[in-house]
Amino acid sequence: MTDLLVHEPLVAEPLDRIARIPEAAIQDAWVRGLFDASQLQTTDGQPVRIVDAGRLNRDSGPDVSDARVEIGGLLWAGDIEIHTSSSAWETHRHHLDSAYDRVVLHVVLTADRRTGTLRRADGSELPELVLLPHLDRSLRALLRAFHLDAATTPQCGSRWREVDPKLAGDWIRHLGTERLRHRAQEVGRAYGQRPDLDRLLVGRMFRALGYEANADAFETLAERVSLTAVRALDGRAIQDRLLAASGLERTDLFDPATPATSTEPPMRSDAWRRGGRPANAPRRRIAQAAAWLAPAGPLRLDAVATLGEAARAGLDPVLTLLRPAPPDGSAPMGRTRAVRVLADAVLPVLLLDAEQREDPGAEGAVLDLYRSIPTSEDHVTRAFAEAGFRPRSAVEAQGVQQLARSYCQEGRCARCAIGRALYPALDRM
């Protein structure tokens, strides 16, 4: 009876009010737990238990990362995508994007004609949860709480179309470039004033293989193995060596009878988080790392120089280097994931190298490559698209991320070119 008293008025919410609920408000409700989690279930009746709701992803890709949910008695670790209704999964073309294959649960506010029928890009069925019957407050109260939160982005969205498109575009591209420079500087500071950029690049690329769940474990693996020793091996021997060092499976590489084979002690197996999609399992990703270190791979010799030279040739040559066939015969990394590795791991290190060498040609090549990367979509880019600015490249997508995080959410309208254009009085404040 208690459940009926809680849920009955919510189900009866007017349809027009439901349609006006922004996805960001639903995302906020999910991560803050503004619902009764005791009787959650998927659309096909599987019980759902939230172990960790995850955290909002402010970059490209699924809305929530590093989540852990138990579905039908099985524990899954991965991403969560959140929409107002089920159809948005296909409207946003996530069903064609392998970057969303790690989504373990699709959370929607309401059901529609596509509910219960969705699939990932790899063809697997996507579990889905309808949240509306479980909310602990009316939609009006939910929306009010969200708007009172400073995270609403962009603050000037209702007037965005008054802004000169050239001014907005130039400002956002400036912020996107600024964000890459900041990331390069942060990477350099994290690894010391004079880092070994070759090893740094290996570590960053390994880390990118782990997504959120196993990023630390992959970076530890890169630090654990001897690059000199590994680079002297062929592809399959490299994969075996990495697997042995990972602690994921027992091999004879650490048998006392053959002490000369390796000197690296294996990692603890519990350093790795299981679950998620089979294509993203640590062993599959280790096979990709082995391909990078193989004789024809980009990390075989002088990784920074190899990828820097490819950067001068353009996007496709770099992606070809990042997608070699693994030695175990498994499929190469998907193009979408390779783009993510390029943007998150490779470009900051290449820019750091160019700046340290004071090489304007190399720096320009990195920035040109950055501008050529196709954009990806998340709740921030969608919010700006709804306001009137749809990013057309990675530099513009990163620009709106920087704008949202460092200006909109901080209330720094007076320091924003768009804010000053819309509200000239801010210049005098």
Q: What is the pLDDT of residue 312?
A: 93
Mean pLDDT per block of 10 residues along the chain (429 residues) reads 30 49 83 89 94 81 89 92 92 91 93 88 94 86 61 69 91 94 86 78 92 85 88 89 83 38 70 68 90 93 94 94 92 88 93 93 94 83 86 91 83 83 66
pTM: 0.62
3-state SS, residue 269: helix
CA distances from 255 to 260, 261, 266, 375 (A): 10, 9, 12, 48
User: Are residues 254 and 108 part of one domain?
Assistant: no
User: Are residues 353 and 273 part of one domain?
Assistant: yes
Cα 104 to Cα 101: distance, rounded to the nearest angstrom: 8
Domain count for the chain: 2
Residue 39 lies in a domain: yes
3-state SS, residue 100: helix
User: Are residues 299 and 212 part of one domain?
Assistant: yes
Residue 229 lies in a domain: yes
User: Are residues 185 and 60 part of one domain?
Assistant: no
User: Are residues 180 and 144 part of one domain?
Assistant: no
User: Are residues 199 and 322 part of one domain?
Assistant: yes
State the SS3 of 296-334: CCCCCCCHHHHHHHHHHHCHHHHHHHHCCCCCCCCCCCC
Residue 284 lies in a domain: yes
Cα 90 to Cα 3: distance, rounded to the nearest angstrom: 32
In this structure, what token pair is assigned to residue 343? 């943007």
User: Are residues 212 and 299 part of one domain?
Assistant: yes
Residue 383 lies in a domain: no
Amino acid letter, 284 = R
Domain edge (last residue) among 372, 403, 423 = 372
User: Are residues 198 and 110 part of one domain?
Assistant: no
Residue 427 lies in a domain: no
Residue 163 lies in a domain: no
Residue with token string 């980009």: 298
Q: Is the dihedral of CA 73, 79, 85, 90 positive or negative?
A: negative
Q: What is the pLDDT of residue 255?
A: 38
User: Are residues 128 and 13 part of one domain?
Assistant: yes
In this structure, what token pair is assigned to residue 96? 């064609």
Q: What is the pLDDT of residue 260?
A: 36
Residue 155 lies in a domain: no
User: Are residues 133 and 76 part of one domain?
Assistant: yes
Domain edge (last residue) among 372, 389, 419 = 372
Cα 136 to Cα 84: distance, rounded to the nearest angstrom: 17
Residue 134 lies in a domain: yes
User: Are residues 183 and 331 part of one domain?
Assistant: yes
Which residues span the domain enclosing 269?
175-372
User: Are residues 58 and 135 part of one domain?
Assistant: yes
What is the gyration radius of the CA atoms in the chain, in angstroms? 23
Asked if residue 282 has a cis previous peptide bond (ω within 30° of 0), the answer is: no
Domain edge (last residue) among 340, 372, 404 = 372
